[in-house]
Amino acid sequence: MEPRSGCPINAAVEVLGDRWSLLVLRDVIFGDRRHFRALLTGSIEGIASNILADRLVRLVEAGVLTRGTAARGQRARYSLTEAGIQTLPVMYALGNWGLDWLPGSEELRARQRFMRDEGPAFVEELMDELRVRHLGAPPKHHDGPGPFERLEAALAGRR
């Protein structure tokens, strides 16, 4: 897909600029939803199956996700590419803006609050863990629980 202009912001918006694409990526990143059915049934916003199918195709074509080959009767598994992993700081910034300027339920805001409290170094840790999960990178050593385990523990403590 050729962008409408050479502006990098325009090019990024053409790939990520609709709400469904970012929400699909959010669910892949934070919910570890890697199959169509899990993304469809796990969407708290209620994405329609045709919209989900379209966004997955677009994200694969844009090089943000890969789609594993599935044998007949098996489910295809989606994985983040490095470009997909690099959307995490963008979502972190959007989430911080949302915390500051928009209302929402405290339960759904808890993840963003925890991430903000932990800071950019935590986002980098999450990205490293995503590289392990999605790209097969070797795991980095952690003294104690990894970033996703700490995030989940913090969220469980607030429920």
Contact 95, 115 (CB under 8 A): yes
Torsion, CA 91, CA 100, CA 17, CA 106, rounded to 10? 70
Crossing angle of helices 120-135 and 88-101, in 10° steps, is: 140
Sign of CA dihedral 150, 36, 87, 17: negative
Q: What is the pTM of this model?
A: 0.92
Confidence label for 91 from pLDDT (cuts 50, 70 and 90)? very high
Contact 37, 75 (CB under 8 A): yes
For the chain, the structural domain boundaries read 1-81, 87-159
Q: List pLDDT tens digits, range 67-83.
A: 998 777 778 999 999 99
Q: Name every residue whose Cβ is closer than 8 Å to that of residue 48 and which is 6 or more positions away in sequence.
A: none
Q: Which residues of 69-105 are buried (b: 16+ CB within 10 A; e: fewer)?
A: eeeeeeeeebbbbeebbebbeebbeebeeeeeeeeee
pLDDT of residue 3: 65
pLDDT of 1 above 70: no
Mean pLDDT, residues 46-74: 92
In the three-class reduction of DSSP (H, G, I as helix; E, B as strand; rest coil), residue 118 is classed as helix
pLDDT of 47 above 60: yes
CATH of domain 1-81: 1.10.10.10
pLDDT of residue 75: 86
pLDDT of 159 above 60: no
Mean pLDDT, residues 25-32: 97
pLDDT of residue 158: 63
